[in-house]
Chains A and B, each alone.
Chain A
Amino acid sequence: GAVVSQHPSWVICKSGTSVKIECRSLDFQATTMFWYRQFPKQSLMLMATSNEGSKATYEQGVEKDKFLINHASLTLSTLTVTSAHPEDSSFYICSARGGTYGYTFGSGTRLTVV
């Protein structure tokens, strides 16, 4: 089956620092990666869509300079939260298009900014 490995699973960082989250498709090529953010007891909100080798498309209201997305290869996409603030604390999860079921989710990253 398809597997997307997401790291780290949880991270605590200080305000003003940057955090990088990685998603790797282990056994298939992910031409498209979706990045979602989920606040407690809420739905998954699409932040951006990235296609391998091109710039990410951000949803309205998502700051592209704050949430840097890189999709340099067919198996790796990264999300960097720059100058993190406490309000950025959330559950971030990637989803790769591809694999057995069409969309394969990473395991998620719980970010806490203190």
Chain B
Amino acid sequence: GENVEQHPSTLSVQEGDSAVIKCTYSDSASNYFPWYKQELGKRPQLIIDIRSNVGEKKDQRIAVTLNKTAKHFSLHITETQPEDSAVYFCAASNLNNDMRFGAGTRLTVKP
């Protein structure tokens, strides 16, 4: 089955700096890679996703890159703000099967 690894587990940046979180996956059949932001006690919120037919996707300050050959994908947050502080999870899925999550990254943005 799919195995998703995520790094780093914690990340602290200064407000305005960029943050990068990286994930690798094992199942070459995976074709959908969402990123979720989760605040304490709440459901994960989808912030961006990418499908295997594209290499990069951007939405304002958030971008995701995908390297299907190497089986890794990354989340980039630019111009970080304190409200970006949360736990971020990557996930991988073959849309015909289940979705597996990475272990999560606790991002802290210091004002």
Q: Hey, which chain A residues are within 8 Å of B101, CB to CB?
A: 36, 43-46
Q: Could you give, for residues 75-114 of chain A, a 1 whenever the CB lies within 8 Å of some chain B CB and a 0 otherwise?
A: 0000000000000000101010100011101111010000
The range of chain A's interface size is 20 to 34
Q: Is A101 touching B46 in the complex (CB atoms < 8 A)?
A: yes
The answer for the CA separation of A105 and B36 in the assembled complex, in Å, is: 11
Query: Does B44 interact with chain A (Cβ within 8 Å)?
Result: yes
Whether A54 sits at the interface, judged by CB under 8 Å, is no
Establish whether residues B89 and A43, one from each chain, have CB atoms under 8 Å apart when the complex forms: yes
Tally of A-B Cβ pairs under 8 angstroms: 44
Q: How large is the interface on B (under 10, 10 to 19, 20 to 34, 35 or more residues)?
A: 10 to 19
**Majority secondary structure of chain A interface residues (helix, strand, loop or mixed):** strand
- Among B11-19, B63-71, B72-80, B92-100, the stretch in contact with A: B92-100
Bound-state CA distance A4–B93 (Å) is: 20
Cβ A102 vs Cβ B44 within 8 A: no
Question: Across the two chains, which residue of chain B brings its CB closest to A104?
Answer: B46
The digit string for A11-53, where 1 denotes a CB below 8 A from any CB of B, is: 0000000000000000000000010100000111110010000
**How far is it, in angstroms, between the C-alpha of A106 and the C-alpha of B46 when the chains are bound?**
12
Whether, in the assembled complex, B61 has its beta carbon less than 8 Å from a beta carbon of chain A, the answer is no
A42 partner, pick from B42, B46, B98, B103, beta carbons under 8 A: B103
The one of B32, B43, B98, B103 that contacts A43, using a Cβ cutoff of 8 Å: B103
Interface set, chain A 41-72, CB cutoff 8 A to B:
42-46, 49
Chain B residues with CB under 8 A of A107: 42-43
Asked whether B99 lies within 8 Å of A34 as measured between CB atoms, the reply is yes
Give 5 A-B pairs besides A42-B103, A49-B98, A101-B34 with Cβ atoms closer than 8 angstroms: A42-B104, A43-B104, A44-B89, A103-B46, A110-B41
